[in-house]
Structure 1
Amino acid sequence: MQVQVNPGDGIEGKETLELWASEYLNEQLARFRQDITGVEVQLKDENSGKSGPADKRCLLEARVTGHDPLVAEHRAENQDMAIRGAAQKLIKVLDSKLGKLDRREHRDRETIRKTGSELAE
């Protein structure tokens, strides 16, 4: 899954941030890997240089195969917490959307459950 980070004004450490965000989001969204082609991360410092509560905003946009992108947003006091919060919200959105598709379309999904014959091996 490709992760693209777009830091806005006031966001520091672009290269380190891109590496961390890519690893973190790939780990957090691993169970949706077969449905998501990419995630775009948009970070912005709402107060541009001034500190304050919830002045960092993270918008995550997940590109889901065959569907419109799904979006989640979170504001926090630093960029790490903003990304983590947005990721948790995106997981809830993906669970809801993809869970409904699974029930309606009976899509083939990978499973961790073993059948009786696989357990005997």
Structure 2
Amino acid sequence: MDFQFNSDNNIDGTADMATQAETRIRERLARFEGRLTRIEVHVRDIDGTNNGPDGIEASIEARPAGGQPMTVTDRASKPEAAVNGALQKLVARMDSEFGKLDRVR
């Protein structure tokens, strides 16, 4: 499974942040890894200098082999919190989607 981390110019998207995000995402998605070809994470500042409680948005796109991409987003005050929120949503969605596929087989 390929992993890509992107951040906009207003987010200090360091290599450490990307590594932490990748480690966390790979841990949580380990049981789905054989079904996924790529994960893309996009983190952006949506309120500029206001620094509001929901000023950072994280989107995670998972690409299942032979299936349509799944995209989830979450907002928080910190990039790590936004990524974790989006990851929770993605795990729940994958449980639902892949669970349905497994029941059909």
TM-score by length of 2: 0.95
CA RMSD of aligned residues (A): 1.0
User: Which sections of structure 1, spanning at least 5 residues, go unmatched?
Assistant: 107-121
Q: Offset at 1:13?
A: 3.7
User: Which sections of structure 2, spanning at least 5 residues, go unmatched?
Assistant: none
Distance in 2 (alpha carbons) for counterparts of 1:83 and 1:12: 14
SS of the residue corresponding to residue 75 of structure 2 reads: strand
Runs (4+) of structure 1 exceeding 2 A deviation are none
Distance in 2 (alpha carbons) for counterparts of 1:41 and 1:89: 13
Taking every aligned residue pair, what percent have the same amino acid on both sides? 35
Q: Which moved more, 1:4-13 or 1:37-46?
A: 4-13
SS of the residue corresponding to residue 49 of structure 1 reads: helix
Q: Offset at 1:14?
A: 2.3
* Conservation of the 8 A alpha-carbon contact between 1:9 and 1:48: no
Whether 1:41 and 2:41 are equivalent positions in the alignment is: yes
Q: Offset at 1:26?
A: 0.4
Q: Offset at 1:38?
A: 1.3
Give the number of aligned pairs.
105
Distance in 2 (alpha carbons) for counterparts of 1:61 and 1:40: 5
Q: Offset at 1:2?
A: 1.9
More strand by share: 2
Distance in 2 (alpha carbons) for counterparts of 1:2 and 1:24: 14
Based on CA coordinates, which of the two structures has the bigger radius of gyration?
Answer: 1
More helix by share: 2
TM-score by length of 1: 0.83
CA displacement, residues 63-116 of structure 1 (integer Å, 9 cap, x when unaligned)? 101101011110001001000000000001111111111111x2xxxxxxxxxx
Distance in 2 (alpha carbons) for counterparts of 1:7 and 1:86: 15
